[in-house]
Structure 1
Amino acid sequence: MAMAGGSDDGSPMMEMNMTPLIDVLLVLLIMFIITIPVATHAINIDLPAPDPNSNPPEVDPITNKIVLTPDNQILWNGESITQGGLVSNLQQSMAFAVEPELQFEPEANASYDLSAQVLTLIKASGVTKFGFVGNEKYRQFGSGA
């Protein structure tokens, strides 16, 4: 008696049965999806507490300038501060009735990582009057001058 699926002449079957393989792959895919934790895109920065004995630099009600130096210093209106001091100064500047302008000027060899951290702090503070200054120094970039 002949089978409906093909001839039964005793020769080996040449096609592989893919159904069990697909079932195993689907089970593995579901297991990986369940076990992967939900990705959270947050930057956690432990900021140091400001030193109560130090005198923080004054916050100008008109214009404040942040300069980043190549030796990883943050200068607020020419005075060196920590990241905690920067956060404090930004909060003070937001307390004015008219928000003062904040100017950001990283020096040529300043750390990109420090620049990214400072920009994250500035963005988190809610400052709206913000600008990059000092770009005219790099007008001749690449000319070999």
Structure 2
Amino acid sequence: MYKQAELDYDIFLAFSAADYDYARYLNEELILHAKTTWFEHNFLSPKEFREEVFRGVEQSKNFVCILTKNGLKDLELRAQIGHARKLKKRIVLLTFEEILDEDFPSDYTTLAPVHFTSNFSNYRYSFSELIRVLDVDREHVQ
């Protein structure tokens, strides 16, 4: 396990493969805002996928998860969230579409999402909120 000072990334960006376009765009925006990210580019073989992804979670300060209706059904994404919880990572959920409360898994209800929309001005506001959340002193969050 890595110590806080040894963490390589500001953000581990988790997403369902079906939401790759959202994730790629968000990753580019985060990099433009001087955030280091662990972002899976589909270059991993299925055999090494989980091991590398879990290592990325371990090496990151924050776990940012794009949660869509696709993601709610993605067992691999749920495993990543579970791993982040086990490591006591700060988890930030991002929703890019409306998800009804009854569709949210009960173990996610303690995680407050940052809501994004397709409206550009709202997207900018939501992105600013994400940056603010990430910049909060982590010592005060725990």
TM-score by length of 1: 0.37
State which structure, 1 or 2, has the greater radius of gyration over its C-alpha atoms: 1
Q: Could you say which structure has the greater relative contact order, defined with CA pairs below 8 angstroms and 6 or more residues apart?
A: 2
Q: In proportion to residue count, which structure has more helix?
A: 2
